[in-house]
Amino acid sequence: MTMYTSVITDDFNNEVTLEYMTNHLENSRWFKLTYYHKGQGKEVTRYGNWDSKCRAWRTKNNDIAVCYLQVDDNNEPQGYRTATGITDIQGKPKEDRFNANLPIVWDNISRLDS
């Protein structure tokens, strides 16, 4: 069995902290999350919003878990979900941050061999 360690990187492939990723998700209008869905047995992509009930943490297996508010194509809430086995997260900046010196796409999470 192959062992993986979840590593969070930015657009420039620099490793960043879980707090850095969480800060950017909190400040996104919405984000796109790709992860392995155990129930479906395949990788899926979902859209989400971040609110006060959301959080990100490391599991006991040192994987990254994200509890987020899943939304549909019309940004209508579909309920809270928890994702693990995350391979990518991309956040859309809030309107007032478009001109900031921040990357347009943040927090690409890669699963790397340990």
String of DSSP letters for 10-38 = -TTS-B--HHHHHHHHHTEEEEEEEEEET
Specify if 110 maps to a domain. Answer: no
Specify if 109 maps to a domain. Answer: no
Query: Which of 74, 103, 79, 78 has its CA nearest to residue 91?
Result: 103
Specify if 112 maps to a domain. Answer: no
For 40-94, what is each residue's pLDDT tens digit?
999 999 999 999 999 999 999 888 999 999 999 888 999 999 999 888 888 887 7
Q: Where are the beta strands (DSSP E) in the chain?
A: 4-9, 28-37, 42-49, 55-58, 64-71, 77-83, 86-93, 108-113
pLDDT of residue 54: 96
For the chain, the maximum distance between any two Cα atoms, rounded to a whole number of angstroms, is 46
Kindly report the number of other CB atoms within 10 A of residue 20's CB atom. 15
Range of the domain at 67: 4-92
pLDDT at residue 13 greater than cutoff 60:
yes
Count of structural domains within the chain: 1
Specify if 8 maps to a domain. Answer: yes
CA 14 to chain centre: 16
CATH code at position 10: 2.30.30
